[in-house]
Chain A
């Protein structure tokens, strides 16, 4: 037997500090909130202490952002703004290894993903939006679109740096200033991004980053000085935000949960479909709002596909996120691990057939073995509720119409995948599927030029691409 020797990335590259402070009006300052301890989910050790904001800090940050907007950023020519944004993009690329290792430590995702996906895509978002800053009049949104003012942004823990980039880059390109709250369990890379923003000499107050728990986010989005709210996270919190903002006249975009269907027709390229299914649900431990958590496979190829899928999932390597050969890392928190475990138990008790990857799990840390449920029916919780973990539910269909009906039978509508060699069927299905993103013969492909967002309970508004600019402009 040929065992791969451990190939861990050096954790010193992360440049981890014992404590981190919030970034307000161009300075790193102590927050008045209760400091939080951020944990490495792969070892359960405390990584660093992070100061958090209280109500007063939120108010100061919003006022600083307003000042920066009124005095500098809002009236700066786009070409000048672009220079700053390009600088941020380059500095992220220069510090890519540091950011990747820190992201894997704080989040638990495998280094190969933080290195090859999160960090380069974050940099790409700044590059892409820098290019728009002086061309907004040509974006098809009217001849002279204006910025909105101060954007209050709240991001989740699944792609901490990348989500910060998705939020900050378009806001800055469009001339807005920002107060951003990173997730409670993953604040570190956003604070390194703050360091980059400081080194890029962005005028004080243009970007403010305030760590904290949900109460800080609630304070931020409902602050009277915020003109635009952007939230990525759970549907439950999204609903709360929308309720609290009703009638306030703030522009809102919400990017929420999903229960995406990956639809495999009998003429699909099966080996690549297996790859797409694996990527769809086991990428980032399934902590992906657009994860392909429901596999809908045509009955005539179901057995063959499931056999190939089990064989492939058995080769996934689960363990130390810093090991370059790790495919599936740690679940981000104990809370999330408990939620996944509970839903998997419901799948078993509701009668679905459970298959678990034989890959051994580490003794410490929050790990969950990749799990595939077959014989799932639409009525089961595992087919309806977002699990946000490495758990796939396999359902079958007989005809294309049935596939579409089942795929659309969800309150969500963020993404979907189609696997077929028939071009006409791709176009037909893409038109019928109620999902913001439809991938054909691929899955989980992200690019700053492509708009991303959902239908129904997956939220509204688009991020990325020309369409994504509209969320940050008065058109």
Chain B
């Protein structure tokens, strides 16, 4: 009951205002050295992701090779932050990235819908962690959230948190199903209170996935959490961020809404797959002065 009072007592989010602010910040013009720096930063923040029914051991190994050396011809390109796979692919990914320092993120808890029993969700989580996942991307029970059963959502996050052991926990809010910014703010605080290390926008399976204004609201939540507790928590927009221009807009939002402290893979990630190659193409264009095209980056 008090949890509900707290969440409903958070200041509202004015839709027009937050969208206007997000659109305004998106006009920042990032050029030259600051663009190159943004590209390298963004590469280091990518959770390189494959979450398909058609995933195979071969696909995951190839993804991991890409994660270790995003641009084989340019060894100075930073490696990505993590690879993100389904639990049954964690062992493969762990073996393929061993010694690289790349984190293995696994989705869990009946991803993407979250529609199963608590036991199965916890078992899913334990399986991922036991297979070598260092990060768990769980989904919240949106049905429970939308029907106002905040306690249930909270307890589930706490239980998953416990099942994670040492692994970092990212809590996927699936903002495309929460719809309102007020809900996004409440779900963000709920996840932070329950111990999530990161709050993440989306599974990538629901449209809309990540948007700039939603990410603004979540960045405000971790900023305010830090103001009140002194603790840093992270944000991960996922889904729909496909090119460098978009990625830079997100970095500007991180820099100016949460603050420059958040521009680290400990506190900000991109959940993406095709973004990486666009970043690499733009990186080459910056360094070489001309654009080479998609045939000059590896498709993995």
Residues of A within 8 A of B (CB): 1-7, 112, 116, 267-272, 275-276, 307, 315, 324-325, 421, 441-442
Contacts and interface: CB of A to CB of B under 8 A. Distances in A.
Range for the number of chain B residues in contact with chain A: 20 to 34
Contacts of B227: 307
Contacts of A324: 27-29
A220 to B, nearest CB: 38
A2 B260 contact: yes
A2 B38 contact: yes
A274 to B, nearest CB: 9
Contacts of A269: 11-14, 17
A2 B263 contact: yes
Contacts of B260: 1-2
Given A272-B21, A275-B20, A275-B21, A5 B30 contact: yes
B34 A441 contact: no
Contact of A2 (B12, B13, B21, B34): B34
Q: Which of B11, B18, B251, B255 has the most chain A CB within a 10 Å cutoff?
A: B11
A96 to B, nearest CB: 15
12 contacts: A2-B41, A2-B251, A2-B263, A4-B28, A6-B31, A116-B27, A269-B12, A271-B13, A272-B16, A276-B17, A324-B29, A441-B17
B232 interface: no
Nearest to B11: A270
B242 to A, nearest CB: 22
Nearest to A443: B17
Interface string B29-63: 11111110110010000000000000000000000
B34 A4 contact: yes
A272 B251 contact: no
Given A2-B38, A2-B41, A2-B255, A272 B14 contact: yes
Contacts of A6: 31
Contact of A271 (B28, B34, B220, B263): B220
B130 interface: no
A442 B260 CA distance: 28
Nearest to B18: A272
Interface SS, B side: helix
B155 interface: no
A325 B30 CA distance: 9
Given A116-B27, A271-B220, A307-B227, A5 B14 contact: no
Contacts of B20: 275, 442
A441 B20 CA distance: 12
Interface SS, A side: loop
Interface of B: 11-14, 16-18, 20-21, 27-35, 37-38, 41, 220, 227, 251, 255-256, 260, 263
Given A2-B41, A5-B31, A325-B28, A271 B255 contact: no
A288 B155 CA distance: 52
A271 B31 contact: no
B124 to A, nearest CB: 36
A266 to B, nearest CB: 9
B18 A271 contact: yes
Contacts of B38: 2
A275 B22 CA distance: 11
Contacts of A2: 34, 37-38, 41, 251, 255, 260, 263
B33 A442 contact: no
A106 to B, nearest CB: 22
A267 B20 CA distance: 20
A275 B21 CA distance: 7
B27 A112 contact: yes
A115 to B, nearest CB: 9
B245 to A, nearest CB: 14
Instruction: List the 3 closest pairs (A to B, CB-CB), nearest first.
Output: A272-B17, A7-B29, A324-B29
B27 A3 contact: no
A420 to B, nearest CB: 9
Q: Which of A4, A7, A270, A271 has the most chain B CB within a 10 Å cutoff?
A: A271
B201 to A, nearest CB: 18
Nearest to B32: A5
Contacts of B14: 269, 272, 421, 441
Q: Which of B14, B28, B37, B38 has the most chain A CB within a 10 Å cutoff?
A: B14
Given A5-B32, A272-B14, 12 more contacts: A4-B28, A4-B34, A6-B31, A7-B29, A269-B12, A271-B11, A275-B17, A275-B21, A307-B227, A421-B12, A441-B14, A442-B16
A161 to B, nearest CB: 20
B53 to A, nearest CB: 38
A5 B11 contact: no
A2 B37 CA distance: 7
B17 A442 contact: yes
A441 B17 CA distance: 8
B265 to A, nearest CB: 14
A325 B29 contact: yes
A421 B182 CA distance: 12
A7 B31 contact: yes
A370 to B, nearest CB: 15
Contacts of A325: 28-29
Contacts of A3: 34
A315 B34 contact: no
Nearest to B223: A311
Nearest to A307: B227
A276 B20 CA distance: 10
Contacts of A5: 30-35
B247 to A, nearest CB: 13
A267 B227 CA distance: 20
B11 to A, nearest CB: 4
Contacts of B33: 5
A306 B251 CA distance: 26
Nearest to A268: B11
Nearest to A327: B24
Nearest to B185: A271
Contacts of A276: 17
Contacts of A4: 28-30, 34
Contact of B16 (A270, A307, A421, A441): A441
Nearest to A324: B29
A3 B37 CA distance: 9
A1 B251 CA distance: 12
A7 B31 CA distance: 7
Q: Which of B18, B29, B34, B41 has the most chain A CB within a 10 Å cutoff?
A: B29
Q: Which of A5, A267, A272, A307 has the most chain B CB within a 10 Å cutoff?
A: A272
A230 to B, nearest CB: 31
A275 B14 CA distance: 11
Nearest to A111: B29
Contacts of A268: 11-12
A441 B19 CA distance: 13
Contacts of B29: 4, 7, 324-325
B228 to A, nearest CB: 10
A315 B256 contact: yes
Contacts of A272: 13-14, 16-18, 21
B6 to A, nearest CB: 15
